[in-house]
Amino acid sequence: MKILIASERGSIQLDVSEWERLANVEYVATQDETGLLKQIVDADILIPGWKVPITAKIIAAGKKLKMIQVFSVGFDKVDHKAAAKKGVMVCNTGGSNAESVAELTWGLILGLFRRIPGGDRLMRTGKWGRFKADKQKLIWGKTLGIVGFGAIGRLIGKIGRLAFNMNILTYDPYVIPETVEVFGGRLVSLETVMKESDVVSIHVPLSDTTRHMIGIRELGMMKSTAIIVNTARGAIIDEAALIKCLQEEVIAGAALDVFEVEPLHVDSPLRSMDNVIMVSHIGTCPEVFIKMRKAGLENVARFLKGVKPMRIVNPSYIIASKS
C-alpha cells in the first residue's frame, strides 16, 4: 500500500507514524500537476496539498488509486465526479471545524449590523462617534436565512434562534422539514430565503450546482436593508453581481471570508466599500487545525485497517464505478 502526500515532508504538520507502520508513505513537493502525475501511478491513497487541484487527469493516472483524503471540509479542489467514475472515494474532515466557522460567521454578522470595524477605524483616527449611524440595526427578532443546512448552517441557526430570538428560514434540498423544525426553523425555497431574510448566510459546498447560485437575480430579490454573509466558498456568489448590488445599494451590505479568486485582488472594489466587512479566509481558527488533522489521520488509518472510512463526500463512487 502506498500513500502519496502532495507536500514536503517537513511542512505537512502531520504525525503519520501510524500510517508508516501500515503503508509506504511518500511525499511529492510540487506546485503543478507534472510531479504528481509521475508519482501517483502506483499510489493507493492520495493526500492532496493546498496548491495543486486534483484534476480528472491526475485521478486517471492513479492506476491503483482507491482513496483521496482532503484535510479540510471544502473538497472543491478535487474532481470528485471523476474520482467517483473511477471508483475512488473522496473523504473530507466534515464537521471538524463547524464551531469555528459558526463563531466567525456570527462575528461578521454582528460586526456588519453594528458597523463595528468602521467604529474601530473612527476611534483610531482620534474621533468619537458612531460609524454610519443610520445603517446600524438590531439583530434581535429579525429573520435569518440559511442556505445549506449542514454542520455549519445548523449551528448558525441554533445560535440565531437561541441567542438572538431570530426567525429561521433555510433552503437545502437535501434535508427534510423536520430536521429544520428541530432547530425552530422552517424549510423554504431559495426565493423565500432571499426575499424574507434580514441576514442571508451561505453554507453550501462549492459544486457545479452551487457555483454562482447567488447571482444578480437572487440578490435583486433581497430587502434593501438586508445583508449577505459568505463563509463557505467565494464562487457560490457571483462576485461581479455582488459588487454591482453593493454599489447600487440593492442590498445593505456583505460580510465575506471567501472570494472568487484568493487572495482577493488588491484593486478589488470590495476593499474600499463601507458596506462590506471582510477577512482573508480565516473560518478555521488555528486551534481547530489539530482537530481537523486528527479527523483526517484517523480516517486514513481506518482505511488501512480495512474499516470503512467516514465522511465520504462522493458516495456515488460505488454506483458509478460499477456502471
**Footprint on this chain of ligand NAD (rule: CB under 6 A):** 73-74, 94-95, 97-98, 101, 147-153, 171-175, 203-206, 209-210, 231-233, 257-258, 281, 283-284
Q: Evaluate whether 37 touches 57 at the Cβ level (below 8 Å).
A: yes
For ligand NAD, the closer CB: 39 or 92: 92
For ligand NAD, the closer CB: 41 or 182: 182
Instruction: For residues 262 and 19, give the distance between their C-alpha atoms in angstroms, rounded to a whole number.
Output: 32
Just list the catalytic residues: 233, 262, 281
In the complex, least distance from residue 97 CB atom to ligand NAD, rounded to whole angstroms: 5
For ligand NAD, the closer CB: 35 or 95: 95
Buried b (16+ CB within 10 A) or exposed e, 124-145: eeeeeeebeeebebebeebbbb
For ligand NAD, the closer CB: 13 or 247: 13
- List, in sequence order, every beta strand (DSSP E) within 150-265: 167-171, 185-187, 199-202, 227-230, 253-256
In the complex, least distance from residue 255 CB atom to ligand NAD, rounded to whole angstroms: 12
For ligand NAD, the closer CB: 30 or 170: 170
In the complex, least distance from residue 173 CB atom to ligand NAD, rounded to whole angstroms: 6
Instruction: For residues 169 and 51, give the distance between their C-alpha atoms in angstroms, rounded to a whole number.
Output: 36
Task: Select from 15, 157, 104 the least CA-distant residue to 286.
Answer: 104
Instruction: For residues 173 and 149, give the distance between their C-alpha atoms in angstroms, rounded to a whole number.
Output: 9
Q: Which residues contact 249 (CB under 8 A, 6 or more apart)?
A: 224, 275
Residue 298 Cα distances to 54, 66, 93, 234, 294, angstroms:
22, 17, 10, 29, 6
Buried b (16+ CB within 10 A) or exposed e, 161-170: beebebbbbb
In the complex, least distance from residue 283 CB atom to ligand NAD, rounded to whole angstroms: 2
In the complex, least distance from residue 257 CB atom to ligand NAD, rounded to whole angstroms: 5
* Residue number, nearest CB to ligand NAD: 150
Query: What is the distance between the terminal CA atoms of the chain, rounded to a whole angstrom?
Result: 26
Pairing state of beta strands 167-171 and 143-147?
A: parallel
For ligand NAD, the closer CB: 113 or 171: 171
Task: Select from 248, 253, 247, 204 the least CA-distant residue to 228.
Answer: 253
In the complex, least distance from residue 26 CB atom to ligand NAD, rounded to whole angstroms: 28
Helices and strands (H, E) in the chain, number of each type: 13, 12
In the complex, least distance from residue 302 CB atom to ligand NAD, rounded to whole angstroms: 19
For ligand NAD, the closer CB: 39 or 231: 231
